[in-house]
Chains A and B, each alone.
Chain A
Amino acid sequence: MKNRILVISWFYPPVNSSEGLVTYKLLKASKYEYDVFTQRNNALWSYGNKDNLSECKNVKSIFAKAKNLESWTKEAIEYYKKNQEKYDIIMTRSMPPESHKIGLEIKKINPNIKWIASFGDPIAENPYTKFTITYSSPYSIKNCAKFRGIISPKRIIRNTVFKIRYQRLHRKFKHQDVKFQENIINNANYIIFNSTYQKDYMLRNFKEEVHSKAIILNHSFDKTLYNGTSKEKQKIEMAYIGHLDNIRSPYILLSAIQELNEENPDLADKVQFSFYGKMADSDKLYIINNELTDIVKVKKPVSYMDSLKIMKESDWLLQIDANLSGILDKNIFFAAKLADYIGAGSKIFGITMLEGISADILRKLNAVMTSFSKEEIKNYLWLIIYNDYQVKLNEEFAKEFDSVEVAKKFDEMVSKL
Chain B
Amino acid sequence: MKTLSIAIPVYNTEKYIRRCVDSLILKDILEDIEIILVNDGSKDKSIEILNEYKEKYPQSVIVIDKPNGGHGSTINAALGIASGKYFRVLDSDDWFDSKNFITFIKKLKNENADVVITNYKKEYVYNGYSEEMNWEKLKTDVEYEFDKFDLKLLGKEYFVMANSTYKTEILRRSKLKLLEKTFYVDMQYNIIPIQCVKTFTFYKLDIYRYFIGRPEQSMNLQNFVKNRHNHEKVIKYLLEYYTQNVSAFSTNKKEYIKQILFYMLTTHYYIYCVYAKKDKKLVYSEIKEFDDYFKKLNPELYNKMDKIGQIKCNRKTKFMFVKISPQLFSKFVSLCGRLIQRKENNLEK
Contact = CB atoms under 8 A, between A and B. Distances in A.
Interface of A: 252, 263, 323, 325-326, 354, 359, 363, 370-376, 379-380, 382-383, 386-389
| Count class of interface residues, chain B | 20 to 34
A387 B26 contact: yes
Given A263-B99, A387-B98, A379 B126 contact: no
Given A263-B99, A371-B213, A379 B23 contact: yes
B121 A375 contact: yes
A363 B124 CA distance: 21
Contacts of A326: 126-127
A375 B126 contact: no
Given A354-B125, A382-B99, A383-B98, A373 B130 contact: yes
B218 to A, nearest CB: 13
B22 A389 contact: yes
B125 A252 contact: no
B99 A372 contact: no
A379 B211 CA distance: 14
B26 A375 contact: no
Contacts of A371: 125-126, 213
Contacts of B155: none
Nearest to A354: B213
A326 B126 CA distance: 8
Interface in B109-134: 121, 123-128, 130
Contacts of B95: 376, 379
A372 B15 contact: no
B331 to A, nearest CB: 27
B97 interface: yes
A388 B27 contact: yes
A245 B125 CA distance: 20
Contact of B22 (A373, A383, A386): A383
10 nearest A-B pairs in the assembled complex, by CB-CB distance: A371-B125, A325-B126, A373-B125, A372-B128, A373-B123, A252-B128, A375-B209, A375-B123, A354-B213, A382-B99
Contacts of A359: 15
Contacts of A382: 98-99
A357 to B, nearest CB: 14
Interface in B1-36: 15, 19, 22-23, 25-27
Nearest to A264: B99
Contacts of B99: 263, 382, 386
B128 to A, nearest CB: 4
A372 B126 contact: yes
A388 B25 CA distance: 11
B138 to A, nearest CB: 22
B165 to A, nearest CB: 19
B15 to A, nearest CB: 6
Q: Which among B19, B121, B130, B211 has the greatest number of chain A C-beta atoms within 10 A?
A: B19
Given A383-B22, A389-B22, A374 B98 contact: no
B209 A387 contact: no
A373 B128 CA distance: 5
15 contacts: A323-B126, A323-B127, A323-B128, A325-B126, A325-B127, A354-B213, A371-B125, A372-B128, A373-B125, A376-B123, A379-B23, A379-B95, A382-B99, A387-B98, A389-B22
A326 B27 CA distance: 39
A40 B330 CA distance: 64
A252 B123 CA distance: 13
Given A371-B213, A387-B27, A388-B27, A379 B98 contact: yes
A258 to B, nearest CB: 14
A325 B217 CA distance: 14
B130 A375 contact: yes
Contacts of B209: 373, 375-376, 379
A379 B27 CA distance: 15
A223 B27 CA distance: 36
Given A323-B128, A359-B15, A373-B130, 19 more contacts: A263-B99, A323-B127, A326-B127, A354-B125, A354-B213, A371-B213, A372-B128, A373-B125, A373-B209, A375-B123, A376-B123, A376-B209, A379-B95, A379-B98, A380-B19, A383-B22, A387-B26, A387-B27, A388-B27
A370 B95 CA distance: 12
Contacts of A388: 27
A214 B99 CA distance: 48
B130 A374 contact: yes
Interface in B196-243: 209, 211, 213
A331 to B, nearest CB: 12
Interface string B126-167: 111010000000000000000000000000000000000000
A383 B130 contact: no
B212 to A, nearest CB: 10
A363 B15 contact: yes
A374 to B, nearest CB: 6
Contacts of B15: 354, 359, 363
A372 B213 contact: no
Contact of A376 (B19, B27, B126): B19
A380 B25 CA distance: 12
Given A263-B99, A375-B130, A376-B209, A383 B125 contact: no
Nearest to A255: B128
Contacts of B127: 323, 325-326, 372
Interface in B61-103: 95, 97-99
> Which of A263, A379, A380 gathers most chain B CB within 10 Å?
A379
A57 B97 CA distance: 54
A250 to B, nearest CB: 12
A320 to B, nearest CB: 13
Contact of B97 (A354, A363, A379): A379
A387 B98 CA distance: 9
